[in-house]
Structure 1
Amino acid sequence: MNRPARLVAAVLTASMAVLTTACGSGGGDSPSDPIKGADGGDGKTSASPSASASRGGAKRPEITLSKDFEADFESWTNSDPKLQAILNDGREELRSKYAAITEADPESKAVAFYNSDATQATARKWIRQFTDDGDTIIGKVRVFDPQVHLSDTGSGVLFYCVDERQASTKNRRTEKVVRTPDKPESLIQYRLRLDKSSEGVWKTTSLTTVPGACN
């Protein structure tokens, strides 16, 4: 697989996009748009870039992204505190993987913190696709249109979109930059199931993606 294709092609599972995801097993809700009973974000401001504060008794890891890479979370707020907690931990799960790539740390403790055993192994495999080749990510991704609700079983269900078109990979040694293609497939819908741990952390227990599913 050539470099440009790696940014948006399916590489780990049939429904995984390369720049911004790591899939686990299938989700608990049917992958229809929009999610039934889902609440979208009700604010217009971007979420804060860090979640180091302790919520629900757990001390969350500090996650810092490279100055060369930005993840902009749009309208990542909800008036329901329970749904906001799911949004917060779903956001940090994605940021932990970005940070692991920019820090060349596939064994990142933050990735383990926000993922279950079911999704952690696949997340690390995806991260190593970058770190083993000496690549990092630069530019910007836009994370938008969050839809969140609690299922009948008490699991959190979170759908959101990621626009990768302003992001690129950069080789640390050669400094070669490969841009993400400006195609509909570079807009990706993420579909997560999250379950609350005994410490109050909403860990991702399944994650699939659908390239081209977002407008």
Structure 2
Amino acid sequence: MARSALTMTAATFAATAALLLTACGGGDSSPDDIKGAGTGSPSASESASPSAAPGVERPVIELPTSFQLTFEGWKSSDAKEQAVLNDAKEELRAGYAAIIANDPDSEAVAFYDTDSGHTQSKKWIKSYTDKNVTVIGKLPVFDPKVTLLDDGSTASLGYCTNESEAYTKHRKTSKVEGNPKDMDPEVYYLVTLRKSSQGVWQNASVRSERGECAK
């Protein structure tokens, strides 16, 4: 599920049938970190906290119970940082929802991405859909750290994921695959976000490196 790598490790987009479901919108990498989803009954999407200007209609994002994407510690006492966390979380949820729905052209993903970020996200999503696989299992997303830059319209977000219980599932054969046993299940992500004219924090780029999460 790793989307792009800082130093392209074995978990980058170029990997073949493994796991890596973490950040949606990643760069050149293959579904070597996806946790395949199947068809379970969809659960109501978590409503995003209002992090944009009043009147902005956000897309409704639903994930099936077969894929549990959880966010640990995604709270900040700073309202500006919380707005970044809210939108980044929804972008990630939208990316996995697109993989599960077999929809690389997801409007929800486009909503939370800049033009360049969307190109990266679509490539990441297609690394799954082109192989006819989805994601299932559990993927915790944790230890987020937001840095707001001086201009007020750019932010960086670092966070980690643990792919120990995340898998890919072939839509036709139902074959389930996970990461190799000797592969570190934790992946560190670094996201650059830009604030749109509507006040939505959109992903501009995502990089990842396996095994770089703080111990």
Matches within 5 A, 1:152-171: 152-154=150-152, 155-171=154-170
Match of 1:63 among 61, 64, 72: 61
Partner in structure 1 of residue 120 of structure 2: 122
Structure-2 change in CA distance of 1:23 and 1:119 (3 Å): same
Partner in structure 2 of residue 45 of structure 1: none
8 Å Cα contact 1:51/1:61 also seen in 2: no
8 Å Cα contact 1:24/1:205 also seen in 2: no
Identity %: 45
Aligned-pair Cα RMSD in Å? 2.3
8 Å Cα contact 2:163/2:186 also seen in 1: yes
CA–CA separation in structure 1 for the residues paired with 2:60 and 2:135 = 19
Q: CA deviation at 1:24?
A: 5.4
Partner in structure 2 of residue 76 of structure 1: 74
TM-score scaled by length of structure 2: 0.78
Partner in structure 1 of residue 135 of structure 2: 137
1:138-184 Cα offsets, whole Å, 9 max, x none, are 00101000111211232111111011111000011111000233456
Q: CA deviation at 1:185?
A: 3.0
Structure-2 change in CA distance of 1:24 and 1:169 (3 Å): closer
CA–CA separation in structure 1 for the residues paired with 2:195 and 2:21 = 27
8 Å Cα contact 2:98/2:104 also seen in 1: yes
Letter in 1 for 2:63: L
Structure-2 change in CA distance of 1:70 and 1:204 (3 Å): same
Could you list the runs of 5+ residues in structure 1 that have no partner in the other structure?
A: 1-7, 26-47
Partner in structure 2 of residue 207 of structure 1: 206
1:25-78 Cα offsets, whole Å, 9 max, x none, are 9xxxxxxxxxxxxxxxxxxxxxx8332868423111111112200111001110
TM-score scaled by length of structure 1: 0.78
CA–CA separation in structure 2 for the residues paired with 1:191 and 1:178 = 26
Q: CA deviation at 1:130?
A: 1.2
Letter in 2 for 1:110: A
Letter in 2 for 1:9: A
Structure-2 change in CA distance of 1:124 and 1:12 (3 Å): farther
Partner in structure 2 of residue 49 of structure 1: 46
Q: Which is further off, 199-208 or 173-182?
A: 173-182
Could you list the runs of 5+ residues in structure 2 that have no partner in the other structure?
A: 1-9, 29-44
Partner in structure 2 of residue 11 of structure 1: 13
